[in-house]
Structure 1
């Protein structure tokens, strides 16, 4: 089995990230490790930093796993740049980790001497050699390009940095019947409403959990999504049926700060708990597919397309900059 593991900072905690091409058996084994979590932003599984897990994934803290002194300084400057541009903390962590891996590879070479050919060598002798995914490679390219845009003294030509060719894979989509089974699986009004709003509005998990009661405009039958991915606001339509469900939920649960709150009043519902709600629905409905919350968003887009909705309109609803991104979801 080809995989690579390294220590990362994730939400202020030290974790062990494990990168590998999708493998059902390895995923099943990792799921059995206590505290294992999947991160969409990292495109990796991550585990608690324990001695047992370090031994399990052969994690060692050797000097050659660190960048040069110059690299450490530049990584910190890069983080400051990203934060000044108001990138999310998850993106700051992902991009700085990717840059660190690149600068560790070239720790004996001055950054000013790194060329475009060195990036190609890194892709071949590191990313491809240990069979990291095209998505991870693309993420690394994004980080490297952005980093060298901020460096004045460089031999890198930004426009000549190439990206991996995108794999054409079918999106993960549920049938309308499967979606109905999932949405009807829970009798708990909060659980049912959260899953229903994600599907019926095509929301990302984070967008749902950031909603506040005032973001629901019942007179215009719309949902206002503020400062979502890419720091963009957008509006999505709200069906009368879902509006009635939201009204019933609001009367029952009476949220204060966020539309969907956890056990602590005024604190947004936990994303991991929401994922667990979906897993419970899959058990109840006996759906064996490895469904994630993002599948509901994929399914929303596909069902709109199947009903004759214009692709450009779907692109606006999903909040995509490019229609190519939308095409991968439908």
Structure 2
């Protein structure tokens, strides 16, 4: 087993004391490692000129602006925090993401998609992602104890930005989760992976998502995040207040409306999920 370098260990410690999420830490470490390999030198031997050259390389490779900006964040952290070069926060800049509209599926397309998902666990995972508007990183890390059937809420632990929040638990989703639990009898994790002590991986769920899209013959490039976009759009179209939707999605950057967005959890629990209006059978009868 390879020994971790002191520099990498220091960066991990810097991220840990700042409570960066495990997924953010992993992506930052991966980005710095690729940056280092690109030039063939340890990252602390590379200057801001190499950083600029690497960013131009990524643009030339036609990488997405989300990826390019994530790399910029990793580089700013490494140089600015771990190496103590505070000018990095000004010198390493990100790009402006194109203002694209989110891809949204119709209710009929959601039904076709869920009908095409194979495997009970995968189908329930993706149904839960749509029914509650969850990020893929949130739905795979749900625990059995996350489901609060008394208050009709789902407790999201350590979500984006390391924040806890509540998502809605619709009556129909609760019925499906209860049936799933009776059949699968999961332990700690609601959706375990091949190793029951670990949760199902993001990669596995995304692969199931791609396979279902092909099986359903849907032309749109569907990801788990597409289900989240669709959840929010369908709620908005049904007349739900935008402030409630912002809270349900766990969005923190609300600008001038931020202080009005923190509505009571009993209001969230009374909001009907668009999933309840679908006729798709997620778990087939015995």
Q: State the TM-score, normalized to the length of structure 2.
A: 0.72
> How many angstroms does 1:179 deviate by?
0.5
Q: How does 1:148-227 map to 2 (within 5 A)?
A: 148-150=79-81, 154=85, 156=87, 158-159=89-90, 161-185=92-116, 189-227=120-158
Q: Distance in 1 between matches of 2:140 and 2:252?
A: 22
Matched, 1:146 2:92: no
Q: Distance in 2 between matches of 1:255 and 1:136?
A: 35
> How many angstroms does 1:314 deviate by?
2.4
Aligned CA RMSD, in angstroms, stands at: 3.5
Structure 1: any 5+ residue segments left out of the alignment? 1-11, 14-71, 325-330
* Aligned residue in 2 for 1:85: 18
- Higher share in helix: 2
> How many angstroms does 1:160 deviate by?
5.5
> How many angstroms does 1:309 deviate by?
3.0
> How many angstroms does 1:157 deviate by?
5.6
- Higher share in strand: 1
Cα–Cα, structure 1 residues 119 and 310, in superposed 2: closer, same or farther, change >3 Å? farther
Q: State the TM-score, normalized to the length of structure 1.
A: 0.63
- Is the deviation greater in 147-156 or in 252-261? 147-156
Q: 1:216-273: CA deviations, max 9, x gaps?
A: 1111111111122321111011111111112222222222222223455444234444
Matched, 1:99 2:32: yes
Report 1 or 2 for greater relative contact order, CA contacts < 8 Å, sequence distance ≥ 6: 2
Structure 2: any 5+ residue segments left out of the alignment? 256-286
Q: Distance in 2 between matches of 1:213 and 1:317?
A: 20
Is the Cα–Cα contact under 8 Å of residues 80 and 87 in structure 2 kept in the other structure?
A: no
Is the Cα–Cα contact under 8 Å of residues 21 and 162 in structure 2 kept in the other structure?
A: no
Aligned length: 252
* Aligned residue in 1 for 2:269: none
